[in-house]
């Protein structure tokens, strides 16, 4: 550990003020980056989360060290970890295109809370390194993500007799390491002898893999047709 922080590791009024200021600063710095990108949780949310987690961490220390109560110092922190999961869940949404948005913001909120716990416990080194790494992930990694080549997407429109046949088709696609991004059952015709239809949006594989996948689906029992869309 850095000896630089040793004088403020003791639990006293000065260290409490320093820890709160550090938590305030850490949350604000991380939150400003989120606000700049117009994310659901901005600098105020991140600041409050970091401050709250820091206070919760210090409350556990206060009850055990100062009040000398038979309290578990880590128990309040464990509650913070769980509670932050509910807060983060509020930033996750599914768009009309069935895309999940807000996962990074939710993870950032959770991590900001952990940084607040570290500050409150006097683990300043961990908190400082954590802030730097979070900013690295949310800035530099965001640019790297844009340069990563994603697996191609393609859709398959199928018609089939037995409605349970769709399960076999989905299982077959997964066995070929194809990721099912979306599934839409478009209905059926002829109630006396129903014919079902569905549109499956997949990701992965090469162009040859796509052709081979469709060829094998066409040969599956109960499948009437399978076309690339």
Mean pLDDT, 10 residues at a time, over the chain (229 residues)? 80 92 94 85 90 93 85 82 84 71 87 94 93 91 74 86 85 87 74 80 84 89 87
Q: Domains of the chain: which residue ranges?
A: 3-147, 153-228
Distances (CA, A) of 177 to 48, 184, 199, 203: 42, 20, 18, 9
Residue 56: per-residue pLDDT: 93
Regarding pTM above 0.85, the answer is no
Residue 189: per-residue pLDDT: 62
Which secondary structure element, helix H or strand E, spans residue 138, and what is its range? Answer: helix 124-147
Residue 178: per-residue pLDDT: 87
Residue 42: per-residue pLDDT: 84
Burial 97-116 (b: 16+ CB within 10 A, else e): eeeeebebbbbbbbbbbbbb
Q: How far, in whole angstroms, is CA 167 from its chain's centroid?
A: 28
- CATH number of the domain at 153-228, please? 3.30.70.260
């Amino acid at each position: 550990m850095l000896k630089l922080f040793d004088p403020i590791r003791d639990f006293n009024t000065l260290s409490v003020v320093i820890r709160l200021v550090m938590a305030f600063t850490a949350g604000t710095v991380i939150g400003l980056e989120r606000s700049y990108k117009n994310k659901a949780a901005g600098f105020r949310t991140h600041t409050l989360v970091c401050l709250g987690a820091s206070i919760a961490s210090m409350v556990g220390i206060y009850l055990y060290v100062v009040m000398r109560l038979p309290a578990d110092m880590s128990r309040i922190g464990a509650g913070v970890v769980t509670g932050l999961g509910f807060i983060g869940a509020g930033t996750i949404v599914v768009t009309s295109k069935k895309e999940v948005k807000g996962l990074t913001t939710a993870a950032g909120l959770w991590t900001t809370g952990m940084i607040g716990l570290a500050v409150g416990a006097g683990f300043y080194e961990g908190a400082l390194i954590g802030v730097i790494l979070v900013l690295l992930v949310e800035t530099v990694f965001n640019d790297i993500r844009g340069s990563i080549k994603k697996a191609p997407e393609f859709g398959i429109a199928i018609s089939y007799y037995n409605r349970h046949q769709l399960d076999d088709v989905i299982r077959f696609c997964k066995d070929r390491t194809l990721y099912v991004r979306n599934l839409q059952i478009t209905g059926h015709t002829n109630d006396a002898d129903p014919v079902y239809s569905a549109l499956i949006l997949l990701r992965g594989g090469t162009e040859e893999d796509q052709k081979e996948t469709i060829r094998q689906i066409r040969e599956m029992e109960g499948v009437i047709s399978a076309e690339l869309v």
